[in-house]
Amino acid sequence: MTQQTEKRAALVLGAGGMAGAAWETGVLRGLLDAGLDVTGADLVVGSSAGAVVGARLGAVGLDALYERELGGEDTEPAARLGVPTLLRYAVAVLRSRTPEEYGRRIGRLALGARTVDEAVRRETVVRRLGPATDWPGRPLLVTAVDAATGELVAYDADAGVPLADAVTASCAVPGLWPPATVGGRRLIDGGIHSTANAHLAAGYARVLVVAPDGCGSKVIPAPERQGADLAAAGARVEVITPDADSRAAFGRNALDPAHRAAAARAGRAQAARHAEAVTAVWNG
């Protein structure tokens, strides 16, 4: 990242499907209910669902974003990873020792999968982004993973990559959607490296992590673990992951847009229980 900014506050928005994006939006709206607007962070890190939310925040007000999640407007069809694909994910975790090795294994799955055409998928993401056609004025990092090397890639406004291309890559769920071609590289979902990629906020004094998927493994660090690492380095950190009510609102398939409204409302309700802790971090 070449943009220069004082490293004060960072907002990390993690991966989690259509329901996860709605839940993140609800959490941010719920914090605003408590008088805390975190959307003016000095850095926003977005992975997959979080990339969509981060991009939208630069173009549309939070109230409008929240109402859009409640409105039921479906910009893409319901999708689901099949059992054979999920088993390949599980085997890849067991056989990998690093996030990069895992990324390479999942990258091979993605490159060999039969999916919709890449251009068709990009148009779907463009519709989902709506008015978010350009990089926002505030620093935004959009993550993806190189399908060949397993390397984490983070794009910002200075990378020379259109925002829609970066977000399409960040949302390229392996085995479901095609890898996105950006600058000659084939890229897959940024959540493959970790569900939050909160380590990209290293050096910031205050960090809020909103992660729809709180899971981790021996290979992929969980958001809570990444938050603890940031705190150990001296940052004030709060990590929000879905509580039981929010997980129930996601349903069995976070990729189904039918769960957006329930997830958004659950996120807004859950935020009230985190408001005091977030305020202590954000205003501390």
Residue of 48, 96, 170, 246 marked active site: 48
Secondary structure E strands in 178-255 = 180-182, 185-189, 206-210, 236-240
Dihedral of the CA atoms 108, 111, 113, 114 (nearest 10)? -170
In whole angstroms, give the CA distance from residue 85 to residue 44. 31
Residue pair 241/13 in contact (Cβ under 8 Å)? The answer is no
Tokens of 159: 């990378």
Would you give the distance in Å from CA 174 to the centre of its chain?
15
Decide if 134 is catalytic: no
What are the start-end ranges of the E strands in the chain?
9-13, 43-47, 140-146, 152-155, 180-182, 185-189, 206-210, 236-240
State the catalytic residue, choosing from 146, 165, 189, 256.
Answer: 189
Residue 33: active-site member: no
Run of H or E including 241: none
Residues annotated catalytic, as ranges:
48, 189
